[in-house]
Amino acid sequence: MEKSSNTPPTLESVWAAFRETDRLLKESTARFERDIKESREEFKKNLKESREEFNKNLMASREEFDKEMKESREEFDKEMKESRKEFEESRKEFDRRMGAWSYNIGSFAEEYFSNSFEHGKRNFFGEEFDKMIKNAIVKAKGYSDEYDIIFINGHSIGIIETKFKAHENDIPKVLKKARTFKVNFPEYQNHKVYLGLASMAFYPELELECEAQGIAIVKQVGDTVVINDKHLKTF
Provide the pLDDT for residue 94. Answer: 53
Q: Give 54-106 pLDDT, tens digit per residue.
A: 888 777 777 777 787 788 788 877 877 877 777 777 666 655 654 444 455 65
Mean predicted lDDT score pLDDT of the chain: 81
Residues of the chain with pLDDT > 70, as a percent, come to: 84
Provide the pLDDT for residue 29. Answer: 81
The dihedral through the CA atoms of 110, 111, 116, 119 has a sign that is: positive
121-228 CATH = 3.40.1350.10
Provide the pLDDT for residue 148. Answer: 94
pLDDT band at 141 (very low <50, low <70, confident <90, very high): low
The residue ranges of every structural domain in the chain are 12-108, 121-228
- Cβ atoms 173, 161 nearer than 8 A: yes
Provide the pLDDT for residue 184. Answer: 92
- Cβ atoms 151, 129 nearer than 8 A: yes
Distance from C-alpha of 162 to C-alpha of 174, rounded to nearest angstrom? 10
Provide the pLDDT for residue 16. Answer: 74
Q: Give 213-226 pLDDT, tens digit per residue.
A: 999 999 988 778 88
Is the model's pLDDT at 206 over the cut of 80?
yes
The dihedral through the CA atoms of 168, 172, 173, 178 has a sign that is: positive
Give the mean pLDDT of 124-144. Answer: 83
Concatenated DSSP letters of 144-180: -EEEEEEEE-SSEEEEEEEESS--GGGHHHHHHHHHH
Cβ neighbors of 173 (< 8 A, separation 6 or more) are 161
Based on the number of CB atoms within 10 Å of its own CB, is 53 exposed (0-12), middle (13-18) or buried (19 or more)? exposed
